[in-house]
Structure 1
Amino acid sequence: MTRSKLSLEERVQLLEDREEILRSLIDYGELLDTRDLDAWAELWAEDGEFEMSTGRTARGRAAIREMLAAVIENNPPAVIHMEMNPRIIVDGDTARSTMLYGVGRTQDDGLTRVVWFGHHHSRHVRTPDGWKIHYRRNTVDLPETGHP
């Protein structure tokens, strides 16, 4: 259905849905940066699936959390995720999104540099607890040498 055929109530709902999904996309990076993996895991649907750019895949919220805990254990704490250019398409109780992201890391010389750029390709699902990530595939478009 085109936007012009939506009622005002449907248009407001669409805006609220997009805002909630956008908030979860932004929270994703912030929660990783602060290493709050419990809150980060709550962004995922119980049966979610995460396909990392490294080829690692996990299914289920607990397995996804465990996989990320192992990844960040070997990463320095001074990491920042930058989420940009969101595109969110809502279709009823499901949605898909793409978002450009960059990762900055403090180097041995004390300077923070962007070390890679990529895209999140996600599918979202509406649950009784709000919108959750049901599937995400990360790609790295401009990698650093030795990307973990």
Structure 2
Amino acid sequence: MSDELAVRNVVARLAMLSDGGDLEEYVDLFTDDARWDMPGGELQGRENLLAGAIERRAAGTVGPGSNTRHVITTQAVAVDGEEAVSDSYWQFWANTAAEPSIALFGTYHDRLVRTEDGWKLAHRVISFG
């Protein structure tokens, strides 16, 4: 049960840190060779994940002052030894300071691995709809 909760916390922390936390702490939740697949692109490795997060913040689409929130809803986690799979629904809210509305939603299919430093995200597949 503690492994499942730890995996759930990694997914939750990623959402929260994306919205306004420290980006070094954000990328530390990924393995060194992590892969992030989504419609329109792929990022691989912590350096590229960090660069992508910095770019999204610079564009004002996420992060402090953007008035956006990533919300994780229904989540199922299966732990098998040193690996885990988490499937969850996500919502991306915009204009949260005035008239909140869902801008996007979809699913995350995450594969996590246990490391010396705890559970880390190794591969995320993002789907819309």
Per-residue CA shift, 1:69-101, capped at 9, x if unaligned? 212322161101110111111111011111100
Structure 1 unaligned runs (5+)? 1-14, 142-148
The root-mean-square deviation of aligned C-alpha atoms, in Å, is 1.6
Q: What SS does the aligned partner of 2:8 have?
A: helix
Answer 1 or 2: which has greater strand percent. 2
Q: What SS does the aligned partner of 1:78 have?
A: coil
Where do 4+ consecutive residues of structure 1 move more than 6 Å? none
Higher relative contact order (CA 8 A, sep 6+): 2
| C-alpha distance in structure 2 between counterparts of 1:72 and 1:56, whole Å | 18
Aligned equivalent of 1:62: 47
Mapping 1:1-148, distance limit 5 Å: 15-53=1-39, 55-74=40-59, 75=61, 77-106=66-95, 110-141=98-129
**Which has the greater radius of gyration?**
1
| C-alpha distance in structure 2 between counterparts of 1:128 and 1:51, whole Å | 25
Q: What SS does the aligned partner of 1:102 have?
A: strand
Count the aligned residue pairs: 125
TM-score by length of 2: 0.90
Structure 2 unaligned runs (5+)? none
Aligned equivalent of 1:6: none
Aligned equivalent of 1:4: none
Percent identical among aligned pairs is 23
Q: What SS does the aligned partner of 2:98 have?
A: coil
The code of the aligned residue for 2:37 comes to E
